[in-house]
Chains A and B, each alone.
Chain A
Amino acid sequence: MPRSIDDDFRALPLQLLADAALSRARDLGVSHADVRVERIRTAALRLHDARPETSYDEEERGLCVRVIHDGTWGFAGGAVLTPEAAAALADEAVAIAKASRPVNTEPVELAPEPTYAGVTWVSDYDIDPFDVPEADRVGLLQDWSRRLLDHGSVHHTDATLRQVKENKFYADLSGTSTTQQRVRVLCELEAAWVDARSGRFESMRTLAPPVGRGWEFLTRRDIYDWDEELTEIPMLLAEKAAAPSVDAGNYDLVIHPSNLFLTIHESIGHATELDRALGYEANYAGTSFATPDQLGSLVYGSPVMHVTGDRQAQYGLATIGWDDEGVAAQTWDIIKDGTLVGYQLDRRIARHTGQTRSNGCAFADSPLHVPIQRMANVSLQPAADGPSTDELIAGVDNGIYIVGDKSWSIDMQRYNFQFTGQRFYRIRNGQLGGMLRDVAYQATTTDFWRSMEAVGGPDTYELGGAFNCGKGQPGQTAPVSHGCPTALFRGVRILNTMAEAAS
Chain B
Amino acid sequence: MSSPQELAERALELSKADDCVVLVSTDHTVNVRWANNTLTTNGTARSHEVTVISIVRGSDGARIASMSRSGVELGDLEDLVGESRALAENEPTAADDEAPLVRDRTAADWGSAPGETTISEFEHLTTGLAASFDAAASAGEGRYGYAEHDVSSLYLATSTGVRLRHQQPATRVELTGRSGDGSRSAWAGVSTAALQDVDIAALEADLRQRLAWSRRKVDMPAGRYDTVLPPSAVADLFIYLYWSMGALDAHEGHSVFAKAGGGTRVGEQLTDVPLTLRSDPAMTEQECAQFVAASVSSRQSSVFDNGLPLAPTAWIDRGRLSALLQTRHSADITGLPLTPAIDNLELVTADGAGDVSSLVAGVDRGLLLTCLWYIREVDPQTLLLTGLTRDGVFLVEGGEVVAAVNNFRFNESPVGMLRRVSAASETTNTLAREWGDYFTRTRMPALRITDFNMSTVSQAS
Contacts and interface: CB of A to CB of B under 8 A. Distances in A.
Interface of A: 44, 46-49, 51-62, 64, 72-81, 92, 95-97, 99-100, 102-106, 133-135, 138, 142, 155-156, 192, 194-201, 203, 278-284, 286-287, 289, 368-370, 372, 407-416, 418, 420, 438, 440, 442, 444, 473-475, 493, 495, 497-498, 500-501, 503
B252 A156 contact: yes
A49 to B, nearest CB: 8
27 contacts: A49-B95, A52-B64, A56-B66, A73-B42, A134-B90, A135-B90, A199-B258, A200-B381, A282-B35, A284-B174, A289-B460, A368-B47, A409-B386, A409-B388, A410-B388, A411-B374, A411-B407, A412-B373, A414-B460, A416-B460, A418-B378, A440-B378, A442-B409, A473-B148, A500-B411, A501-B384, A503-B416
A279 B95 contact: no
B71 A283 contact: no
A415 B407 CA distance: 11
Nearest to A44: B296
Interface stretch (B234-242, B337-345, B346-354, B451-459): B451-459
Contacts of B140: none
A54 to B, nearest CB: 5
Given A80-B71, A495-B455, A99 B123 contact: yes
Contacts of A410: 374, 388
Contact of A283 (B187, B253, B295): B187
B94 A51 contact: yes
A55 B178 contact: no
B99 interface: no
A415 B49 CA distance: 41
A133 B90 contact: yes
Given A73-B42, A99-B122, A501-B413, 17 more contacts: A53-B94, A56-B65, A64-B45, A77-B44, A96-B43, A99-B126, A135-B90, A142-B92, A282-B144, A287-B182, A407-B376, A408-B376, A412-B391, A416-B457, A416-B458, A418-B378, A501-B384
B87 to A, nearest CB: 6
Nearest to A134: B90
A473 B33 contact: yes
A155 to B, nearest CB: 8
Nearest to A474: B31
A248 to B, nearest CB: 11
Nearest to A40: B70
B87 A53 contact: no
A76 B455 CA distance: 45
Which of B29, B69, B295 counts the most A-chain CB atoms under 10 A from its CB? B69
B43 A500 contact: no
B158 interface: no
B455 A96 contact: no
A79 B47 contact: yes
B461 interface: yes
Interface string B31-44: 11111111111111
B22 to A, nearest CB: 14
A48 B95 contact: yes
Contacts of B45: 64, 76-78, 368-369
Interface in B124-162: 126-127, 129-130, 133, 137, 142, 144-146, 148
A350 to B, nearest CB: 15
A283 B146 contact: yes
Contacts of B95: 47-49, 51-53
A96 B119 contact: yes
B208 interface: no
B388 A500 contact: no
B326 interface: no
Interface in B227-278: 252-254, 258-262
Interface string B388-432: 101100000000000000010101110011011000000000000
Contacts of A97: 42
Contacts of A279: 35-36, 142, 144, 178, 182
Contacts of A442: 409, 455-456
Contacts of A142: 92
Nearest to B53: A56
Contacts, number: 312
A97 B122 CA distance: 12
B334 interface: no
Contacts of A104: 38-39
A44 B295 CA distance: 13
B183 to A, nearest CB: 11
Pairs A-B, 6 closest by C-beta atoms? A199-B260, A79-B71, A413-B460, A134-B90, A416-B458, A194-B253
A503 B384 contact: no
B43 A370 contact: yes
Contact of B409 (A57, A418, A475): A418
A370 B96 contact: no
A55 B41 contact: no
B357 interface: no
Contact of B87 (A57, A60, A78): A57
B97 to A, nearest CB: 10
B174 to A, nearest CB: 5
Contact of B32 (A78, A103, A280): A103
Contact of B297 (A53, A78, A195, A289): A53
B91 A134 contact: yes
Contacts of A53: 94-96, 297-299
Contact of A438 (B129, B296, B379): B379
Which of A51, A133, A197, A284 counts the most B-chain CB atoms under 10 A from its CB? A284
Contacts of A64: 45
B126 A106 contact: no
Given A75-B41, A96-B119, A103-B129, A52 B92 contact: yes
B289 interface: no
A498 B43 contact: no
Contacts of B48: 79
Contact of A55 (B146, B259, B296, B386): B296
Contacts of A493: 456
Contacts of A60: 49, 70
A383 to B, nearest CB: 30
A271 B146 CA distance: 21
B90 A194 contact: no
Contacts of B68: 56-59
A79 B70 contact: yes
A409 B378 CA distance: 9
Contacts of A368: 43, 45, 47
B459 A416 contact: yes
A156 B409 CA distance: 33
Contacts of A197: 260-261
B284 interface: no
B186 to A, nearest CB: 11
A271 to B, nearest CB: 11
Nearest to A200: B381
Contacts of A76: 43-45
A51 B302 CA distance: 14
Contacts of A418: 378, 386, 409, 411, 455-456
B120 interface: yes
A156 B71 CA distance: 39
B46 A78 contact: yes
Which of B148, B388, B412 counts the most A-chain CB atoms under 10 A from its CB? B388
Contacts of B296: 44, 54-56
B65 A55 contact: yes
Given A55-B87, A79-B71, A473-B31, A282 B388 contact: no
A368 B47 CA distance: 8
A444 to B, nearest CB: 7
A280 B40 CA distance: 7
Nearest to B95: A51
Contacts of B49: 60, 79
A474 B41 CA distance: 10
B197 interface: no
A138 B94 CA distance: 12
A500 B456 contact: no
